[in-house]
Amino acid sequence: MRTNRLALYSQRMAAITLLFMVAMMAANAAAWLFPDVASRYGLGFALTQRQMSSLSEEAMYLTAWQSLGGILLSSIPLLALAAGLANLRQLFKRYAHGQYFSNEAAVYLGKAGRAVALWVLLDFLCEPFLSLLMTINAPVGQRLLTLSITAPSFVALFLAACIAIIARILSQASEVDSENRTFV
């Protein structure tokens, strides 16, 4: 009975993870296409939110190519995060089939951890380019080049390291489980 409930929860988490990936990318694009709505309701995600909040009211009206560039540049880190979530989704699917100590589960968990670390790195690297893109039409002296390291970035890196270590532990557990099955 307990494993059936755990399988059901894992299936639900796999579906929720997929929905979150789609919603995250859609919300990011919508924030660039409708910046006034995004700023009013606090929509946006990570890099997009930081950049939108740094703009003045009149600077928020970007040209079409700036909006498209904003969508593309801010989506680069989100694609890394989406890849991590896709690996997490595969992990939940494995768990839904009862594959708790499989080597594949450890691999998916490890990839999810690395993707979170890559998300933080790409967020850091894309920010200066995005800030330049957004202020390129501003008068000289009002253009910005921003670079930020935030507390959530450190938390995300810490969690990525924890996930990577847990993935290694799961890999070891998979090997032990495999050895135990050969003896039985």
Angle at which helices 64-96 and 2-33 pack, to 10 degrees?
Answer: 180
pLDDT score of 23 = 94
The DSSP code sequence of 68-136 is: HHHHHHHHHHHHHHHHHHHHHHHHHHHHHTT-TT-HHHHHHHHHHHHHHHHHHHHHHHHHHHHHHHHTT
User: How many folded domains does the chain comprise?
Assistant: 1
According to the model, what pLDDT value does residue 1 have? 44
Residues 6+ apart with CB under 8 A from 78: 24, 25, 28, 45, 46, 119
Average pLDDT rounded to a whole number, residues 31-39:
83
Chain mean pLDDT for the chain: 88
Q: Are 20 and 85 in contact (CB under 8 A)?
A: yes
Which structural domain range is residue 66 located in? Answer: 2-183
pLDDT of residue 55: 66
CB of 118 closer than 8 Å to CB of 110: no
pLDDT digits (tens, 9 = 90+) for 51-103: 777 666 655 678 889 989 999 999 999 999 999 999 999 999 999 998 888 88
Question: Percentage of the chain surpassing pLDDT 70?
Answer: 94
